[in-house]
Structure formats: C-alpha cells, structure tokens
Amino acid sequence: MSILCAISNMLGVPVASAFKLGPELVVNGEFTDDISGWDDFYEHGSATWENGRMRIEPSVNSQSLQRQVIPVEPGKTYFVTGHIDARCSEVYNNVAGRLSINDATDAHLLTLDQGNKQSGVVAGMFTARADSVNVDLHGAAVAEGNVTFFDNVSVREIL
Ligand SMILES: [Ca+2]
C-alpha cells in the first residue's frame, strides 16, 4: 500500500488516482546504520544513533536541531513524512518533536509537530521556492533525559 493510499484510508477520503512520488531526496533518513548525512546546527546537546533511529538529547532548557540540505526545484510540490517519538517532560518553546522544512532564508515552508509523549507518523506537503531546502529535525528538553527519536524521514516530489 502506498503512503498516499494509507493516508487516504486514514482520512476516509478517496485520493483520485493516487498521485505518484519521485525518488527519495533525503540521504539516510532511515538511519539504518548511523546518523551520517545530518549536521548538528546549534550543537545544543547530542544526536546519536540508537537501534536504527536518530536519538536527539538536547541540553536542558534548549532545542537541538539536526539539519540536512536537499536539492529541490522551485514551483514543484513535495511530500514529506517521518516518524517522531517525543519523550520530553514538557514542551520547550512549544516544541516536543518537530520535522520542519525551511528554505535558505529560514522561512518556514512546513512544520510537522509530534505532541509531547506522543509517537507516530507525521506527513505534509510544501512547494519549493528555491533550489534547496533545509530538512530540520528538532528535539526539545526541559530536563535531563528528555529525548526525541526520528526515523523514516522522507521528502519526495509529487509527480
Ligand atoms: Ca530506521
């Protein structure tokens, strides 16, 4: 079953002739063996590999952001999905776990949040305005041991 079919079933609305997706644009969004391909943007805390996922443990009272820049085409629309498992004591700056897409000027194109102590898939779409975007994975912490896990981070053009 395609992702779009799954979403269609979940929402209870038909997606007429489910649209097709282009190739995967995220490098190592499945974290099979490591977290290579991602850069620690703020260096607030740590990001490590754990059992096929990225584990983000921010410093207390801060947010950690792991970033990958991917090529896109202005005017084209992209489908974004990922799995977020947010295990914070409470949200920090309204963030528990977040997958966001931003362009080079840091304008927000898409923000997908997972609620605090919630685990599951997030999905959405954005239309590119430049030839690259930042794929940003955020974790937040208000106490020691507040962690957020990411897996299956994906960005694909909607054809
Ligand atoms: Ca994985």
Please say whether the beta carbons of 57 and 66 come within 8 A: no
Question: How far, in Å, from the CA of 150 to the mean position of ligand 1?
Answer: 8
Domains and CATH numbers, the chain: 21-158 (2.60.120.260)
Question: Does pTM top 0.85 for this prediction?
Answer: yes
Question: How far, in Å, from the CA of 32 to the mean position of ligand 1?
Answer: 5
Question: How far, in Å, from the CA of 47 to the mean position of ligand 1?
Answer: 15
List the alpha helices (DSSP H) in 47-104: none
User: How close are the terminal C-alpha atoms of the chain, in Å?
Assistant: 18
pLDDT tens profile 31-78: 999 999 999 999 889 999 999 999 999 999 989 999 999 999 999 999
What is the C-alpha to C-alpha distance for residues 38 and 27, in angstroms, rounded to an integer? 9
Tell me the two tokens of residue 106. 């840091």
